[in-house]
Amino acid sequence: MKITIIGAGPIGCYAGYLLAKSGHNVSIYERKKEIGLPIQCTGLLTADFDQFGFDKSSFLVNTFSEIEINSPKQQLILKGKEYLVCRKKFDNYLANLALKAGAKIFFNSSFLRREKENQIIVTENGEEKILSPEVVIAADGPLSGVAKAYDFYDLKRKHYYGIQAVVRGNFNPQRYQTYFGKETCPDLFAWIVPESKDIARVGLATTKNPRFYFDKFMLGKDFSVMEMQAGTIPLYHPKQKMVRDNCYLLGDASGYVKATTLGGIIPGMKQAQVLVDCIDNKKDYGIELKKLRKRMNLHLRLRRVMNKFSDKDWDCVVKLLGQEKVREVFEKHTRENPFPLVMKTLLKEPRFLKFVKYLF
């Protein structure tokens, strides 16, 4: 099939690689002149990333063995392997996979509009070009122009706004830190993710006033800012349609991120695998995504609960998590699939049921 992908981010390029490997004629259009910039992501990945079988040597920055969780008055350290990647190098690694598989990538090329059935207009180096692909894949980010052109924006979308700095300081390179609480970051959490013993990525994300909370979080910390980064992150919507006419949504363009942490790379890559299987085998994309969307729905419910936590609630949660019987559940399972985490944690510690009231 003749397939056009709009957006050469990691999910678009990964889908392009899989589709080209399957024998499709794949063209990827990217509005920027290079891949991976500007950086708008921390690049932290759970151990589930191993399942994709990538050679990490060209893009891996750090590997963690510990996660530090901080509430206003409690602290917990969990053991667990996670990865930190250089997004520019990682995105280019996936782009090169796509190119080697036979996909074409066009830079300085933007989606303009949907012309008529099965036709779209893009600009390529400033000139308009008519394309007639059999399949269009929108992988052009949280403010997707393709999604708007194909009327996927019939739902009111919500976004988080992240802000991050690369800083110099003194860090434990084996451990990254998270900070929860209404005063720290009311909608999510703040993080300190070391690249090395003297460089880290420090940031947070909120639905409003991210700079205010970021500046507040940085107060009193002996950090020297080297670089600032910012980005828009979509909030998953359970009723978002994923296919319309010959257009499919993928990655951030579909809002496909975990609402608990706003991580989208691993879910987006699994989503790409499902999409490619559907195109190859003429399956229904919406139906085939059902299993993965159950996970995303639970992430969303957990986010709605956590958004109602007081600082006292966060202290209680961290204290309960610190029990050995609960801690071992979190050290065994990653946060990609919340079902075993939730079910096993409730079985080990029924006092977590007190927070179910926040579902209503």
Which of 259, 295, 330 shows the shortest CA–CA distance to 66?
330
Q: C-alpha angle 232/176/335, rounded to 5°?
A: 65
Q: What are phi and psi of 20, to 5 degrees?
A: -65, -40
* Tokens encoding 253: 């363009």
Contacts of 282 (CB under 8 A, 6+ apart): none
DSSP string, 247-281: EEE-GGGGT-S-TTT---HHHHHHHHHHHHHHHHH
**What's the CATH architecture for 62-84+158-234?**
2-Layer Sandwich (3.30)
pLDDT at 328: 95
Q: Contact at 8 Å (CB) between 243 and 286?
A: yes
Q: What are the residue ranges of helices labelled H in 23-115?
A: 87-101
Contacts of 203 (CB under 8 A, 6+ apart): 42, 162, 163, 164, 165, 190, 191, 214, 229
pLDDT at 75: 98
Going from N- to C-terminal start, the domains of the chain cover: 2-39+87-156+238-300, 62-84+158-234, 308-359
DSSP lists the bridge partners of residue 131 as 120
Return the H-helix or E-strand segment holding 76: strand 75-85
pLDDT at 280: 97
Judged by phi (left if over 0) then psi (alpha if -120 to 50, else beta), residue 352 lies in alpha
B/e letters for 4-26, b = 16+ CB within 10 Å, e = fewer, are bbbbbbbbbbbbbbbbbbbebeb
Q: What are phi and psi of 48, to 5 degrees?
A: -60, -20
pLDDT at 40: 81
Contacts of 53 (CB under 8 A, 6+ apart): none
Surface-to-core class of residue 106, CB atoms within 10 Å of its CB (0-12 exposed, 13-18 middle, 19+ buried): middle
pLDDT at 164: 97
pLDDT at 155: 82
- The sign of the dihedral angle between the CA atoms of 91, 94, 100, 102 is negative
What's the predicted TM-score (pTM) here? 0.95
Q: Contact at 8 Å (CB) between 16 and 25?
A: no
Cα separation of 191 and 200, whole Å? 10
Count of other CB atoms within 10 angstroms of residue 130: 10
Place of tokens 């007081």: 310
Determine how β-strand 60-70 pairs with β-strand 75-85: antiparallel
Q: CATH assignment of 2-39+87-156+238-300, given 3.50.50.60, 3.30.450.20, 3.40.50.2300, 3.30.70.920?
A: 3.50.50.60
Per-residue pLDDT of the chain (360 residues; tens, 9 = 90+): 999 999 999 999 999 999 999 999 999 999 999 998 888 889 999 999 999 999 999 999 999 999 999 999 999 999 999 999 999 999 999 999 999 999 999 999 999 999 877 899 999 888 999 999 999 999 999 999 999 999 998 888 899 999 999 999 999 999 999 999 999 999 999 999 999 999 999 999 999 999 999 999 999 999 999 999 999 999 999 999 999 999 999 999 999 999 999 999 999 999 999 999 999 999 999 999 998 999 999 999 999 999 999 999 999 999 999 999 999 999 999 999 999 999 999 999 999 999 999 988
